[in-house]
Amino acid sequence: MALLDKETLEALSSSRILTSMITPAVLISACGTLIFSTSARLGRIFDREGEVKAGRKMKGWQICLVQRRSATRGA
């Protein structure tokens, strides 16, 4: 088994350090993206609920969809 020279060992340790620095940043970014998309979807739900409660004009297929959803919830 050949021994690794000093330069190779330094390169390996540098790549490990770099990887350990980048990994948390990528995970934090992914969590932020999930939180942002979830909050945007939740905002659209509340906007739509406000439109329905205000009695704004809905299309026929939208009325059927709202009725079907409310029937499955038991409301």
User: Model-level pTM?
Assistant: 0.51
Residue 56: pLDDT band (50, 70, 90) is low
Helical H segments across 55-73, by residue range: 60-73
Q: Per-residue pLDDT for 1 more than 50?
A: no
The C-alpha atoms of residue 5 and residue 10 are separated, in whole angstroms, by: 9
pLDDT of amino acid 2: 52
Instruction: Give the amino acid at 48.
Output: R
Arithmetic mean of pLDDT, 18-22 = 84
Q: Per-residue pLDDT for 24 more than 90?
A: yes
- Count CB neighbours of 33 within 10 A: 10
Arithmetic mean of pLDDT, 5-15 = 72
